[in-house]
């Protein structure tokens, strides 16, 4: 179990060594609008996976189809793997269907000065969406104590939008080595035949800053104590 003392927190806050913490958007300041975004949505008539560099669909985006009907998506649990290969400088987004077949999107990455945060969220306004079994490995780390991320239509009594951020340090760069973020996404009951953007998961790689006082507060939380660092 990775533990941190006050002295260690001060040292980590002033160094380039990754000290990943779970946080929220109100603790972060975006350094730019640049991002790498992977999306998997329950769309039954069009593309349902996408890799791109902003939050708006464009003709040049890399898209794919995992399932093409409500019966394929509703009630299904899909494994996903978002990974970066520093040798090829490419991001890959792999979805594994319940029948174990896979769908893979790969896109070359260039022009980013730094990416130091992973934003994960679900939208469940038209159908329940839950992300589970999340695990980040690589760059000398193994982090798996992610908060629950689930959303559902308000009629079911839960939030329609849920998110968490994993921040690796103000000067850290996720594009400096190989890593993989794995997990499962489950689509439950839908409120309409094609929920599309109303039932989706999204993972974004962002560049953000946690101001110094907030950094020290986050480093001292129990959430960080639950983050494990793989021993050499």
What is the number of residues in the chain?
232
pLDDT of res. 228? 44
Cα angle 27, 179, 89; round to 5: 105
The helix (run of H) or strand (run of E) holding residue 9 is helix 6-13
- What pLDDT shows up at residue 213? 61
pTM reported for the whole predicted model = 0.83
Task: Kindly report, residue by residue over 43-69, the tens digit of the pLDDT.
Answer: 999 999 999 988 777 777 899 999 989
Per-domain boundaries in the chain: 22-203
């Amino acid at each position: 179990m990775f533990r941190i003392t006050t002295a260690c927190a001060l040292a980590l806050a002033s160094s380039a060594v990754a000290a990943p913490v779970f946080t929220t958007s109100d603790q972060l300041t975006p350094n730019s609008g640049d991002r790498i975004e992977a999306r998997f949505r329950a769309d039954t008539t069009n593309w349902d996976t996408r890799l791109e560099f902003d939050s708006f669909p464009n003709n040049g985006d890399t898209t794919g189809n995992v399932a093409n009907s409500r019966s394929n998506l509703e009630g299904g649990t899909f494994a996903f793997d978002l990974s970066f290969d520093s040798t090829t400088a490419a991001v890959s987004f792999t979805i594994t269907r319940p029948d174990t077949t896979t769908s893979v999107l790969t896109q070359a990455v260039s022009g980013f000065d730094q990416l130091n945060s992973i934003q994960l969220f679900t939208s469940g306004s038209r159908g329940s969406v839950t992300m589970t079994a999340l695990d980040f490995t690589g760059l000398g780390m193994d982090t798996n104590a992610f908060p629950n991320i689930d959303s559902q239509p308000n009629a079911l009594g839960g939030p329609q939008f849920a998110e968490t951020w994993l921040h690796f340090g103000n000067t850290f760069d996720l594009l400096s080595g190989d890593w993989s973020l794995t997990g499962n996404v489950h689509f439950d009951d839908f409120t309409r035949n094609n929920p599309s953007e109303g039932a989706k998961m999204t993972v974004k790689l962002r560049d953000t800053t946690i101001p110094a006082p907030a950094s020290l507060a986050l480093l001292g939380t129990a959430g960080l104590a639950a983050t494990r660092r793989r021993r050499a």
